[in-house]
Amino acid sequence: MERGAAANTLAAYRRDLGRYRDFLTERGITNAAAVHEADVTGFLAHLRLGDSGHPGLAVSSTARTLAAVRGLHRFLALEGITDTDPAAHVAPPRPPSRLPKAIPVDMVERLLEAASVGDPPLSLRDRALLELLYGAGARISEAVGLDVDDLDLEVRAVRLVGKGAKERVVPIGRYAAESLGAYLTRARPALSAAGRAGPALFLGRRGARLSRQSAWLVLQAVAGRAGLREHVSPHTLRHSFATHLLDGGADVRVVQELLGHASVTTTQIYTMVSVHRLREVYAEAHPRAR
């Protein structure tokens, strides 16, 4: 809470710590001061190997769970509740480096065109939502959390609230602005009439704020209509936003600000995507590449 973590992050940490508590209880440990480093490493092994009733977790899930445990013990030690931090020297597993999945510009255009198929007001909403996800590189939680006042179509910009409750203002292009304008004037009033809309920008069928799950379903349905075989998620559009900017010559520091990354190191993985693409083009085009 002190770090301003998102509600979904807090819920994940709560589940992780609940699993840790159950593991310690089975070992007969009910006091944090009685936990030793061997107990933490035992929990780490338990996560990876699983048991007869539950399979082991993936490396990424194990690392996240251990991060919650390490944070708990660090907090207890700093507050003086325990004398030592038994998790201080337990290193989390390192997940393999994975490049973000981006789709080419022509596929993005197919996806956006497919969003316009169908009758208003939902088709106008779907097009506006996907244009915003790609045009601003917004996370899905940021998009569905938007209020009408967060959008300024005159200057073509949107105020996004990201991880840690950090705000950033991101410009949007003409296509996104036009789609959002059409949604606001021709679709949102009809949707809001079905219920109590409040300030929410994107609304569902019943007039309430569009949920993350509903936004996911929208994208999956649109991707199906577009005939895209690749797995397309809201984060795919965010990855594509960053990759296409870098391919177009944008500075990585600018892309960092647009994405709302706390560290440029996180953003730099997208430069690897661009280099990977350059290698593919080089291998296909240069006569002495092979």
Query: pTM above the 0.95 mark?
Result: no
Question: Of residues 163, 212, 225, 277, which has the active-site annotation?
Answer: 163
The pLDDT, as a whole number, for residue 133 is: 97
Q: Which residue type does 186 have? A: R
- Distance, in Å, from the CA atom of 194 to the CA atom of 208, rounded to the nearest integer, reads 8
The pLDDT, as a whole number, for residue 231 is: 84
Q: Where are the alpha helices (DSSP H) in the chain?
A: 7-26, 37-49, 59-78, 105-115, 122-136, 140-144, 174-186, 188-192, 212-226, 234-247, 252-259, 264-285
Question: Of residues 70, 110, 127, 139, which has the active-site annotation?
Answer: 139
282 classed as catalytic? no
CB 158 within 8 A of CB 136: yes
Question: Of residues 46, 238, 239, 244, which has the active-site annotation?
Answer: 238
188 classed as catalytic? no
Residues of the chain below pLDDT 70: 1, 52-54, 95-100, 272-282, 286, 289-290
139 classed as catalytic? yes
52 in the Ramachandran plot: left (φ > 0), alpha (ψ -120 to 50) or beta? alpha
101 classed as catalytic? no
The pLDDT, as a whole number, for residue 278 is: 61
- Distance, in Å, from the CA atom of 36 to the CA atom of 18, rounded to the nearest integer, reads 18
Map out the domains of the chain as residue ranges: 7-78, 105-282
261 classed as catalytic? yes
C-alpha pair distances (Å), 26 with each of 43, 194, 253 = 11, 51, 48
Question: Of residues 13, 20, 134, 270, which has the active-site annotation?
Answer: 270
CATH of domain 105-282: 1.10.443.10
Q: Read off the pLDDT of residues 153-181 as tens digits, 9 standing for 90 and up.
A: 999 999 999 988 889 999 999 999 999 99
Question: Of residues 235, 253, 276, 279, which has the active-site annotation?
Answer: 235
The pLDDT, as a whole number, for residue 53 is: 63
